[in-house]
Chain A
């Protein structure tokens, strides 16, 4: 029953998406109020049916319903319940349904959050989201229905890939999709505004919190993927410049540019056309990411489908979305003219530089990701472009971004003077420079690492300074502390988080080391000043795997500082071995131990890694995401909605934050 009900709910959702995607738009076009008001109820109902079908899929997994082909392929009765549920998005069909489910969530959120928007605008936004839902629902129903029956039913399932049997699997895909799909809201706002011919400060103000929230989720999603890869893949890397990672990173870069450009559009009415383009681009790259990951053109743990029909569908959909949006953009280009002027040295200019550099970085990542695929598709040979390329390209492009980022908040909109910068900022710059020199000559850090460290310090100092000055502007500082808007704290958190992140990245890169050894129980290996003693090896089976577990004591001199228990697992259903690394985490270093294979001499291969300051990477990224959410929930996006209609082009600078 579940399978048929699920399919049926999806078909109903498809019909509703068709309704939602057409009637309100036609109504807004022809001035038919009765069609316009259909948008919100249609959006609610669509969300309901999608959620229903998703719930049915989850329950099929929970009940081990192996008469459904997809469940039989991605689950197993031995699998613990939470992994069975996560297995719902462990394959192509289910992850596609998750995509649609997340879209339904955003759709419901927009239907709820847009109640006080002008009816016409709100219904257009919902309708555009409906069109996106239509595309994906058609895709899932015609090419990849997760509810397809398997006759006769399988006795047991084929199991979830052991790599995916992890807590990360439960939250990484939903978070990432919340980000990807969240950009569809910014996209829909942009398209709706283009359709209505109204792109003004009010439009920017409406779409800003949605974009911030989506960006925050995307940050968390990428973080979770990276964090997971770090401990699960067993090799201690945290970012591989893998095509799939790049696919999620490109929308993030463009989304970052979009956030900053939206700030200019809201505060100053400038960059309007540019902001619209970025909104289109951010969502297009999200779709491209979906295409790259799901079409099977990439070989990785993420690639499920190798059915060319599916890839073709997403590619076609991508072409329609990007092409349609761009045609609309060209048609409406005249209304995009104008906006407040600004001088050479102003916050606008700095934000423009931020945008240009971020987009250049995106283009470089895009080239490195797509060029090998393109060459291969054209039969012109196989190449791969590894991390060295991305490192070489990315770092130089980001250095000026980081350097300017610290200055940005100090520079006024429209017109400023370099001499207006506070003198204390100069001291911060000098301190950062001194630190770089000390790190380079004193500690023998590499040039790039020293520069990165200095830039991190520079941003941290400048952010602190900015807060200090802002709190010192007369009156009680306590009162001022409470009166700072959430968006200001958001900006500070994100910028400071970036500083911590950059410091972490350069310290890991320049300070990490590893030792490979072959050890018998009772033997020990030295890594730096630490001694690793292999004290025991025992069986340690889990619910659906067998494993051996090594116990290692880490000694510094006469003190035991950690006990590490890496495992080597074997999952009988899929007949695959898995390395489960053991990590002793700390603020200044991670000790990372993984087991290789049993060696010929009766010992085990062991990889010992010392990774300094990895925790800084994680905490920095979390602070960046927190910044996005803080800013998204700023009160000024919610209060005075009624007055939004009449925002003057020049709003006051109070509470201004880029």
Chain B
């Protein structure tokens, strides 16, 4: 095999790998991108109906209710403008508390957010940026 031929081949292999990787990445991206919506956006009907997404805001004070099974829990996430009821079955992260920021991933069912995952935070005073933004936006909107 001559040199130019070899180079051409190497180039072709690299391009093929790159093209394959791109196709793979883009399709995986399409399928697995999770969008974020604030309670206000959900209330306005912007959130998708049959797709998983994230919400964020503050856990409304006094809204946490646990079921008799000891595992299921309901609470309300608010951005101080709108609220959205959330249901979750499982163990909540250590720093989940009323009056604190929270981010949950899940889908809407009959106006209620069924969370598959409630995200853990690592620091008492830390507010997930999404939740902070949602709160700030709502405050700005109210003004």
Contacts and interface: CB of A to CB of B under 8 A. Distances in A.
Interface of A: 161, 163, 233-235, 299-301, 341, 343-344, 352-353, 356-357, 360-361, 363-364, 367-368, 371, 381-386, 388-389, 392-393, 396-397, 516-518, 574-579, 594, 596-597, 599-601, 603, 605, 607
B139 interface: no
B70 A601 contact: yes
Contacts of B1: 343-344
A386 B32 contact: yes
B34 A383 contact: yes
Contacts of A341: 3, 6
A396 B21 CA distance: 9
Interface of B: 1, 3, 6, 9-10, 13-14, 17-18, 20-21, 24-25, 28-29, 31-36, 54, 66, 68-71, 89-92, 94-95, 120, 122-124, 126, 128-130, 133
Given A576-B94, A601-B70, A356 B14 contact: yes
B137 to A, nearest CB: 11
Nearest to B32: A389
A361 to B, nearest CB: 8
Given A517-B71, A599-B66, A381 B36 contact: yes
Contacts of A381: 35-36
A527 B95 CA distance: 27
A4 to B, nearest CB: 31
Nearest to A574: B124
Given A343-B1, A344-B6, A397-B24, A600 B32 contact: no
Contact of A516 (B36, B71, B123): B71
A579 B69 CA distance: 21
Given A163-B122, A356-B14, A577 B36 contact: no
B94 A579 contact: yes
Nearest to A233: B120
Given A356-B14, A518-B70, A385 B122 contact: no
A254 B130 CA distance: 32
B91 A353 contact: no
Contacts of B71: 516-518, 599, 605
A161 B122 CA distance: 8
Contacts of A364: 21, 24-25
B17 A389 contact: no
A384 to B, nearest CB: 5
Contacts of B24: 364, 392-393, 396-397
- Dominant SS among interface residues on chain A: mixed
B70 A392 contact: no
Contacts of A360: 17-18, 20-21
Given A299-B129, A382-B130, A397-B24, A578 B70 contact: no
Contacts of B29: 367-368, 371, 385, 389
A384 B119 CA distance: 12
Contacts of A357: 17
B91 A597 contact: yes
A526 to B, nearest CB: 16
The 3 A-B pairs at the shortest CB distance, nearest first, are namely A518-B70, A599-B70, A596-B91
Nearest to A599: B70
Contacts of B9: 344
Contacts of B17: 353, 356-357, 360
A384 B21 contact: no
A517 B122 CA distance: 24
A385 B33 CA distance: 5
B69 A393 contact: no
Given A161-B123, A353-B17, 5 more contacts: A343-B1, A367-B25, A383-B35, A388-B28, A389-B28
11 contacts: A161-B122, A161-B123, A299-B129, A343-B1, A353-B17, A382-B35, A382-B54, A383-B34, A389-B29, A578-B94, A605-B91
B131 to A, nearest CB: 10
Nearest to A355: B14
Contact of B126 (A234, A235, A299): A299
A368 B69 CA distance: 38
Contacts of A597: 91-92
Interface core residue of A363, A383, A579 (most chain B CB under 10 Å): A383
A516 to B, nearest CB: 5
Contacts of A353: 13, 17
A392 B32 contact: yes
Interface core residue of B14, B33, B130, B133 (most chain A CB under 10 Å): B33
A301 B126 CA distance: 10
Contacts of A605: 70-71, 91
Contacts of B36: 381-384
B28 A393 contact: yes
B123 A363 contact: no
A392 B94 contact: no
A577 B122 contact: no
Contact of B21 (A386, A397, A518): A397
A517 B69 CA distance: 9
B127 to A, nearest CB: 9
B21 A388 contact: no
A576 B122 CA distance: 9
Contacts of B128: 299
B92 A385 contact: no
A28 B32 CA distance: 53
Nearest to A520: B70
Given A299-B126, A341-B3, A344-B1, A576 B95 contact: yes
Contacts of A578: 94
A301 B95 CA distance: 13
Contacts of B92: 596-597
A603 B95 contact: no
Contacts of A368: 25, 29
A364 B10 CA distance: 21
A605 B29 CA distance: 36
B31 A516 contact: no
A579 B31 CA distance: 33
A388 B91 contact: no
Contacts of B133: 382
A368 B71 CA distance: 33
A40 B70 CA distance: 66
A368 B34 CA distance: 12
Contacts of A575: 124
